[in-house]
Homo-oligomer: A and B are copies of this chain.
């Protein structure tokens, strides 16, 4: 920076003004400074800048690698953050890199706000974060913690999906849940409620799972093993999310079960993959772009107005019918209803 100042024949302060696009420099000086900077390849140092101004204007985003829905969210976060004049720092949780580690990294870089995509950590820990920095949780409700919350009306989505299946004539509808995953509790609850409402209480069955393909595969294998012992297959599976649905699809197809002829499969998320499968996945769509936008806005608004209380945004999900669902096989059809 000093080099630029010398070469342009001005003070460092002026260079700073130019680079911050602030008033207080003439048009020609501005151009001269920028030209010189370009010549010697100068670029302001974010670290020093951040240190000096005391504010980082940076949003830290924690996501889980391989969660395809998260990448959909990230894509939406960038433009909104840029629009509001904030920088974005990404930190991934992965096999061998815990969420805590990922968050520590963000905090170490002095992110002013944390946007956690489907965090899996203890509520107490998240509340601790919420006390120290503006924190937004996407998809995962954190009771009694000082964090904003952006999610879909999971219950509504599951209800729509269940109603749709029942209307097609399904009765043996199994739910593979997402274990302790974000949104799972509510999805589970709504499934049960919807089944009860349709007088299908005896058919209620929740297979414990999680939000991964592997989990779907295991649930599928379990069902196939039961079939081989003479038990009837369900006619429809409501998976915890799209990834899980893909796993079910794979296990079932391998096991000789044809979808949707023998079995309907419904996912949740509508991650960008679900309409790119050989036969599009019927799923409950969450609007990733809108969720991302909300999360960023919540974070920024609370940063710029500290007395604001954490808020909650509930977005309406929507059932998207594609190729993996249809009427139940004959014999399991409406007659049995």
Contact = CB atoms under 8 A, between A and B. Distances in A.
A132 to B, nearest CB: 6
Given A108-B46, A273-B273, A65 B56 contact: no
A50 interface: yes
A36 interface: no
A314 interface: no
Contacts of A213: 273, 276
Contact of A51 (B51, B68, B132, B217): B51
Chain copies in complex? 2
A214 to B, nearest CB: 8
Nearest to A252: B278
Given A51-B48, A78-B92, A276 B253 contact: no
What range describes how many residues of A lie at the interface? 35 or more
B278 A44 contact: no
Contact of A45 (B51, B71, B254): B51
A273 B272 CA distance: 13
Contact of A279 (B56, B78, B250, B272): B250
A94 interface: yes
A327 to B, nearest CB: 19
27 contacts: A45-B51, A46-B47, A46-B108, A47-B56, A51-B51, A66-B272, A68-B68, A74-B92, A74-B94, A75-B92, A75-B96, A78-B92, A82-B97, A88-B105, A89-B89, A89-B90, A90-B92, A217-B276, A250-B276, A250-B278, A252-B278, A253-B278, A253-B279, A254-B323, A273-B273, A277-B277, A277-B278
